Amino acid sequence: MKSISASRIIHMVNEAHRQPPGSIKAHILVAAKAEFAQYGFEGARMQRVADRAALPKPNIHYHFKSKQQLYLAVLERIIESWNLAFDQVSQESDPAEALEAFIRQKLKQAQQDPAASRLFANEMIQGAPNLKHYLNTSMRSWVQDRALVIKQWMLAGTIGDVDPERLIFLIWSATQHYADFQVQALSLLNRAEFDDPVLTETADFLVTFILRGCGLSPRDRPS
Amino acid sequence: MKSISASRIIHMVNEAHRQPPGSIKAHILVAAKAEFAQYGFEGARMQRVADRAALPKPNIHYHFKSKQQLYLAVLERIIESWNLAFDQVSQESDPAEALEAFIRQKLKQAQQDPAASRLFANEMIQGAPNLKHYLNTSMRSWVQDRALVIKQWMLAGTIGDVDPERLIFLIWSATQHYADFQVQALSLLNRAEFDDPVLTETADFLVTFILRGCGLSPRDRPS
DNA sequence: GTCTATAAGCTGATAGAC
DNA sequence: GTCTATCAGCTTATAGAC
């Protein structure tokens, strides 16, 4: 699989991600996300995408020129909604409140759309052949901006001393774990499915643990 | 890929994992680990395994009957050394010391053998088709034993109140992240490689953060 | 044990009828 | 837009010479 420029990716997003929710393209993208998430790009089979979408295989190729283009269309839909709940954070935000919202949103995503997390994990494991440029540009500046806010919190004394970038990595990994390693977590917790009770228990643990790691305690906040 | 019984897996381990380090089988297993780690089982290509091992393709099939058997042989070698540093932990262990050793060993493994972590991640993402039985038996009892020790620490008041299983998951995810998402972490930290300085900084962060999350502080210990 | 040649089946992609 | 038929190339695996 050849590396692809960011402008090419962005172009493809504009073509692919704004499909009306009920459209056939959107339907195919859902099927493709599940297939690529489970098997990775090279392991994915166009026939299985077609089967998942309950369509003949040539219909997939009619709507998406190639396997590569289908993959990129799926990938870019995921990137958009990746870190939404931490997007609006600023120096004025309450650290405990902002971190809690971020953790709970990431875990909710892991429950509601585990395939998205698994597809992203596959892309990273593979060495990010299609996202290297994204990592070095928009994702890096996203992290740097949030890291700056955390540093400002540290200077203001409203949060303990922590490495901001590695704190973000820890929140990503600890939450995405429940999507990527769901089969393991459920088996070892002796639970049948990732239902709301499991979600709540896990979110409460993570919020308490991570806030404590940041030198904060969960507290009553003005509503 | 068909599910395979645990006894079958264990049988294959006994056949495959005790190869002398310099043997051809061991050499092939190293090449196969890298290939399966990067592309997953379905995405892996026997030709690329042969290329990585610098051998003609039929030689791979001479030493391992099928792609599936080669995969299982690689997988089982990884399982053996998965959680070594937390194996000997007991009620009498010092919690801070034991957790620190576990975190540092897992992170060291992530640095020295990222392919092992990535292969395991691929297997879990795929739904653990070859490790379901392992998850429900030996891995579950390993986790339950360690969780019991952590509960005893809590009762003895030598550690704060935490969900023991989820603490283990958090340590796994936070450390394995630096293997599975290495390309992302290095890019966002603006580092070229996962060298010893990165290892030390990351380990120090994780130990401090996680011990604090457990209500412990890193302290001088008798040497 | 090693390697060349090749079989048998699968995979991405397209042609062309409707 | 949709679907049947099909191609060219690739993939796992083996046969058989050395």
B206 shares contact with chain A (CB less than 8 Å): yes
Angle, helix B24-43 to helix B114-125, in steps of 10 degrees: 40
A91 with A31, same domain: the answer is: no
pLDDT by residue (tens digit) across B29-42? 999 999 999 999 99
CB contact under 8 A, B188 and A215: no
- Which CATH number does the domain housing residue A181 bear? 1.10.357.10
A222, part of any domain: no
In the numeric block, the tokens 């704190």 are attached to: A167
How many beta-carbon pairs under 8 angstroms link A with B? 163
Scanning every strand, the nucleotide with its C1' closest to B62's CA turns out to be: C1
Domain boundary among B78, B98, B123: B78
- Kindly report the nearest CA distance between residue B198 and chain A, in angstroms: 11
Specify the DSSP element, H or E, that contains B177.
helix B164-180
- Kindly report the nearest CA distance between residue B190 and chain A, in angstroms: 9
In the numeric block, the tokens 């080669």 are attached to: B70
- Which CATH number does the domain housing residue A60 bear? 1.10.10.60
| Strand C bases, protein C-beta under 7 A | 1-5, 11-16
pLDDT by residue (tens digit) across A13-61? 444 456 787 899 999 999 999 999 999 999 999 999 999 999 999 999 9
For residue A209, pLDDT beyond 90: yes
- Number of domains chain B is built from: 2
Q: Do the Cβ atoms of B128 and B107 come closer than 8 Å?
A: no
A97 with A65, same domain: the answer is: no
Q: Do the Cβ atoms of A96 and A221 come closer than 8 Å?
A: yes
Domain boundary among B59, B78, B97: B78
B73 with B86, same domain: the answer is: no
> Residue B53: which domain range?
6-78
- The predicted pLDDT at position A4 comes to 41
| B18 C-beta less than 7 Å away from strand D | no
A139 with A68, same domain: the answer is: no
Pick from A125, A170, A215: which is nearest to B122 by CB?
A: A125
Q: What does R_g of chain A's alpha carbons equal in angstroms? A: 19
Query: For the ranges A78-92, A164-178, B101-115, which has the lowest average pLDDT?
Result: A78-92
A59 with A11, same domain: the answer is: yes
Q: Is the pTM of this model over 0.75?
A: yes
B180, part of any domain: yes
Query: Can you read off the two tokens belonging to residue A135?
Result: 């990592």
Scanning every strand, the nucleotide with its C1' closest to A62's CA turns out to be: D1
In this structure, what DSSP letter does residue A127 have? T
Residues of A in contact with B169 (CB under 8 A): 174, 177, 181, 185, 188
B112 with B178, same domain: the answer is: yes
Report residue B71 CA to chain centroid gap. 16
A59 with A168, same domain: the answer is: no
Domain boundary among B38, B59, B78: B78
Q: Do the Cβ atoms of A49 and A42 come closer than 8 Å?
A: no
pLDDT by residue (tens digit) across A111-144? 999 999 999 999 999 999 999 999 999 999 999 9
